[in-house]
């Protein structure tokens, strides 16, 4: 039995990976910016935590320490956090979105 830490666990690939791991009998710590979106996985047996991978290194370290307290360790990290662009491609929106995407993709930690 493995312990998984999955970022971006509230939807898409992260949620489906979490469901598959739980079905296999593994333990899952599901992380999302909005912890309230993890209620379905919690109902399936996952341990939900709030984690913004764009947070400060101190915030991320504190959250990882919280995750370690749940099972004492984790064996598998799925660093799946992502950002989806929604809206018209105006210059202002594009600039803001580009900055947000670069921050998430290049600067985030897990």
CATH number for 38: 3.40.50.720
Residue 77, in any domain of the structure: yes
Residue 91, in any domain of the structure: no
What is the pLDDT, as a whole number, of residue 2? 97
Q: What is the pLDDT along the chain (110 residues), one digit of tens a residue?
A: 999 999 999 999 999 999 999 999 999 999 998 888 999 999 999 999 998 887 888 988 898 999 999 999 999 999 888 666 666 655 555 565 666 666 656 555 54
Residue 99, in any domain of the structure: no
- Find where tokens 């939807």 sit: 11
Cβ proximity of 80 and 13 under 8 Å: yes
Q: Quick one: which of 21, 17, 15 has its CA closest to 40?
A: 15
User: What one-character DSSP code corresponds to residue 34?
Assistant: S
- Which domain range does residue 64 map to? 3-82
Quote the number of domains for the chain. 1
pTM of the predicted protein model: 0.78
Both structure tokens of 15? 């949620």
């Amino acid at each position: 039995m493995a312990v998984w830490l999955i970022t971006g666990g509230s939807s898409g690939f992260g949620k489906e990976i979490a469901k598959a791991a739980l079905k296999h009998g593994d333990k899952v710590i599901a992380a999302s910016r909005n912890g309230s979106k993890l209620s379905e996985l919690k109902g399936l047996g996952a341990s939900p935590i709030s984690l913004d991978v764009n947070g400060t290194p101190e915030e991320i370290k504190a959250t990882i320490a919280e995750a370690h307290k749940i099972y004492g360790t984790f064996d598998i990290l799925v660093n799946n956090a992502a950002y989806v662009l929604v809206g018209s491609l105006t210059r202002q929106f594009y600039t803001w979105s580009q900055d947000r995407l670069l921050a998430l993709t290049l600067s985030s930690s897990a």
